[in-house]
């Protein structure tokens, strides 16, 4: 099954990627990116073909979200150089995402999701770490799919703009607080995409956020509360 699945997802991913890339004059690059994602995802049996959600995940990863999927391929390349990348099969197979315990990381102690690849998950045998993947980082995976090529600009644009606002207002509203904490709160914790993910994770407000700054309540219901709701 794995070999035939890999072949099919590689060919289908390349075809969808080529069609998507052709829209911006880059059919070959699109085919390579879509095919590469199809190959690695098929070999690892990542997509849940038995559900509409799994089929949609593959379609989006190969088309609308191809740019962020390509960023995920960079994460795979980084992980391939690490003997201790710690690919987490149990949290990846048929889960419509890839999860590394280590992999690409920008900040110690923080997971980071690029496209359909979760990096820096840590010791997922710990319930809190596993829940971070399923209830927080997976939200980012789907944010990248829904917002596609707009996602990095929206996320990064908020971070840059909010950091500037925090820096300019720090002398006025800082009240003895560190510049870094204020910038981190404005640019990272108050980022609507993070507010969304932390809320889904039933972790709002997070401990790193300045308590009296910004949104005080979750923006959406947590996934845990939805799962516990009687059917």
Q: Alpha-carbon dihedral of residues 137, 138, 144, 146, nearest 10 degrees?
A: -140
Q: Which residues contact 28 (CB under 8 A, 6 or more apart)?
A: 18, 21
pLDDT at 185: 97
pLDDT of 142-198, one tens digit each?
999 999 999 999 999 999 999 999 999 999 987 789 999 999 999 999 999 999 999
Q: Quick check: 124 and 99 in contact, CB under 8 A?
A: yes
Report the mean per-residue pLDDT for the chain: 96
> Band of the pLDDT at 231, cuts 50, 70, 90?
low
Tokens 């993947």 sit at which residue?
133
Report whether pLDDT(230) > 70. no
């Amino acid at each position: 099954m794995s070999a035939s699945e890999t072949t099919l997802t590689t060919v289908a991913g390349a075809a969808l990627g080529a069609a998507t890339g052709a829209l911006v004059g880059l059919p070959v690059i699109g085919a390579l990116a879509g095919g590469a994602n199809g190959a690695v995802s098929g070999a690892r049996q990542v997509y849940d073909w038995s559900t509409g959600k799994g089929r949609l995940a593959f379609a989006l990863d190969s088309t609308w979200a191809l740019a962020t999927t390509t960023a995920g391929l960079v994460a795979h390349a980084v992980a391939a150089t690490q003997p201790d990348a710690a690919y987490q099969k149990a949290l990846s197979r048929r889960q419509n995402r890839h999860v590394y315990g280590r992999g690409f990381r920008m900040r110690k102690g923080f997971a980071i999701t690029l496209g359909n690849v979760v990096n820096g998950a840590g010791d997922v045998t710990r319930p809190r770490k596993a829940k971070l993947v399923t209830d927080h980082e997976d939200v980012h995976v789907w944010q990248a799919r829904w917002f596609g090529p707009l996602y990095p600009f929206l996320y990064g644009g908020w971070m840059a703009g909010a950091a500037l606002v925090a820096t300019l207002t720090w002398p006025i509203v800082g009240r003895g607080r560190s510049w870094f904490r204020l910038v981190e709160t404005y640019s990272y914790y108050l980022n609507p995409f993070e507010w969304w993910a932390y809320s889904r994770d039933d972790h709002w407000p997070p401990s790193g956020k300045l308590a009296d700054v910004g949104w005080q309540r979750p923006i959406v219901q947590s996934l845990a509360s939805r799962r516990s709701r009687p059917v």
